[in-house]
Amino acid sequence: MWAGIESQKAMLFASIKIKLCLIGLLAFFWMPETGAQTKDFTVVIDAGHGGKDPGARGSQANEKAINLQVALNLGRLIEENHPEVKVIYTRKDDRFIELNERADIANRNKADLFISIHVNSLKRGSGVRGAETYTLGLAKTDENLQVAMRENSAILLEDNYEQKYEGFDPNSSESYIIFEFMQNMHVEQSIHFASEVQKCFASAGRVDRGVRQAGFLVLRKTSMPSVLIELGFISNSSEEKFLRSKAGQETLAKSISNAFDRYKRTFDNRQSGVAHQAASASAKKGKAEKTQSEQLSNAGQVVYKIQILTSDKKLQSGSRYFKGYKNVSFFQEKGLYKYTYGESSDFDEIMKLWRKVRRDFKDAFIVSFKDGKRVK
């Protein structure tokens, strides 16, 4: 009898072990990403045009095909060099995506950077060549306006575009007046990345046509740093040959990838700088007799604030960009208005506030002032 009971126990334990193994396997496959697998930065890469919208036409190639290949090459390079970065594409094949949807993809995924890739074009036989990178703003030259008009004309292929874009006419210069009044809270970061792109293009031997501004609909609704890159001129026969070649597309993607490396390094340094300051402040907290002397400058008190956004225009009090935050102040630096929230000479206190503010302003960071002037 006891032998029978022992046999049943053995069978029961074996059954339990099998079930536990199965549960373990299921838990492994269904477990959400954690730890090192978590992505701390998201970039959205937008290959301009596509599907029924060919973009600019060359003698042997269409813009949409060039844009797509460079975008895919760029995404691959970023993934290889930055496993902590999540890469999202607005399209990975030859399909038509509406301009608003491209921005919505970036917003839904709470992207940290939006890169829209395009190819330029002028009158046939033009000798103009080189790359240029745009940020959102009012086109201050007729040339920039013409580029924006050509890229924005893609909405004419969309259904009910008049309603979707609130009567915006991509071929009317009057429609672009709205961009003079638009505020871009990420203008500083956008210009920073655009400048890095142009530097890397120049290092790769490309003609540097500089950082420019124009009213691009695809950038209008993005809620993160964003740029539109014109890789070159498909209307120039030698440029077209370069743009459609595998070597040329790799060179262009590598240049943008190098710019991303530099931009991401700055982003990481800023984040780690805040973490380092927090750890340092915490350590000093344990030394009560030295806390104040180490937190404050000998020549005067250091005051910490949280920078929440940047604009090239002065924002009205109560602006929607402040997301309901009251008592927002600003300071001017290099022609830009930089808005801050909160103020304290206690770094621990400002750190606590910064953690709360980041829920609404993802790119917020701490800045310090002494005697009314910003200090590093």
Residues 203 and 306 in one domain: no
Residues 178 and 237 in one domain: yes
From CA 258, how far away is CA 263, in angstroms rounded? 9
Tell me if 227 sits within 8 A of 236, measured CB to CB.
no
| 275 falls within a domain | no
Domain stop point among 231, 264, 297? 264
* Cβ atoms within 10 Å of 351's Cβ, excluding its own: 19
| 30 falls within a domain | no
Tens-of-pLDDT digits for all 376 residues of the chain? 444 444 544 454 444 444 444 434 333 333 333 334 457 899 999 999 999 999 999 999 999 999 999 999 999 999 999 999 999 999 999 999 999 999 999 999 999 999 999 999 987 657 899 999 999 988 889 999 999 999 999 999 999 998 889 889 999 988 887 776 565 678 889 999 999 999 999 999 999 999 999 999 999 889 899 999 999 999 999 999 999 999 999 999 999 999 999 999 988 887 766 555 656 655 555 554 444 444 433 346 889 999 998 888 888 888 888 888 988 999 988 888 899 999 998 888 888 898 889 888 888 889 888 888 888 7
- Output the pLDDT for position 292: 43
Instruction: Write the CATH number for 98.
Output: 3.40.630.40
Residues 171 and 55 in one domain: yes
Tell me if 334 sits within 8 A of 160, measured CB to CB.
no
Instruction: Write the CATH number for 310.
Output: 3.30.70.1070
Residues 229 and 97 in one domain: yes
| 274 falls within a domain | no
Residues 151 and 184 in one domain: yes
**Helix pair 347-357, 246-285: axis angle to 10 deg:** 140
From CA 93, how far away is CA 249, in angstroms rounded? 16
Domain count, the chain: 2
Sign of CA dihedral 350, 355, 359, 361: positive
| 64 falls within a domain | yes
From CA 82, how far away is CA 70, in angstroms rounded? 18
Tell me if 307 sits within 8 A of 188, measured CB to CB.
no
| 78 falls within a domain | yes
- Output the pLDDT for position 294: 43
User: What's at 6, amino acid-wise?
Assistant: E
Question: String of b and e for 214-239 (b: at least 16 CB within 10 Å)?
Answer: bbbbbbbebebbbbbbbbbbbbbbeb
Tell me if 13 sits within 8 A of 82, measured CB to CB.
no
From CA 258, how far away is CA 80, in angstroms rounded? 12
Residues 173 and 234 in one domain: yes
Determine phi and psi for 158, rounding to 5 degrees: -90, 150
| 355 falls within a domain | yes
Q: Which residues are bridge partners to 62 per DSSP? A: 57
Q: What range defines the domain where residue 240 resides?
A: 35-264
Residues 216 and 296 in one domain: no
Give the DSSP letter string of 20-75. Answer: HHHHHHHHHHHPPP-GGGS-SEEEEEEE--BTTB--SB-SS-BHHHHHHHHHHHHH
User: What's at 224, amino acid-wise?
Assistant: M
Residues 193 and 251 in one domain: yes
Residues 299 and 154 in one domain: no
DSSP summary character for residue 129 = -
| 16 falls within a domain | no
Q: pTM of the full predicted structure? A: 0.71
DSSP summary character for residue 170 = T
From CA 333, how far away is CA 189, in angstroms rounded? 14
Residues 353 and 230 in one domain: no
Residues 307 and 186 in one domain: no
| 10 falls within a domain | no
Domain stop point among 264, 298, 328? 264
Place of tokens 């031997």: 205
Residues 189 and 255 in one domain: yes
Domain stop point among 232, 264, 296? 264
